Amino acid sequence: MGSREREWGLLVALGMPPLPKDQTYQLWLVSGAQSFDGGAFIMDDAGYGQLSLRMAESLRTFDRVRVTVEPLGGSLQPTTDPILLGSLFTTRTN
């Protein structure tokens, strides 16, 4: 979900296991070969987590998203292989 201007968004994650206390999930916004920190989030015991995004530029600047497991507090760049991958926007043809 995102704003009309595409400068904010909301990630909702369901069914992912909680991590050890010294780890966190981290969202990465990907443009070409570069990854940009989207923020860290944790899952509760019921497998629910969420992350609000507020960017200086449009989210349309980015092609894809990735989620990795990182040390608590997050990382400057991804340090593990992604556990989730996705497209940020889809193009429709009529």
Q: What is the pTM of this model?
A: 0.83
Task: Give a yes or no: residue 47 inside a domain.
Answer: yes
Cα gap 43→71, rounded to integer Å: 14
Task: Give a yes or no: residue 72 inside a domain.
Answer: yes
Task: Give a yes or no: residue 2 inside a domain.
Answer: no
Task: Give a yes or no: residue 41 inside a domain.
Answer: yes
- Total domain count, the chain: 1
Considering only residues 20 and 2, tell me which one the structure prediction assigns the higher pLDDT.
20
Task: Give a yes or no: residue 94 inside a domain.
Answer: no
Given this model, what pLDDT does residue 3 score? 47
Range(s) of the domain holding residue 18: 8-87
CATH number, residue 48: 2.60.40
Q: Are 41 and 27 in contact (CB under 8 A)?
A: yes
Q: Are 38 and 25 in contact (CB under 8 A)?
A: no
Closest Cα partner for 9 from 21, 27, 35? Answer: 27
Cα gap 22→71, rounded to integer Å: 6
Cα 71 vs. chain centroid, distance in angstroms? 15
Q: What is the pLDDT of residues 23-46, one digit of tens each?
A: 999 999 998 889 999 999 999 989
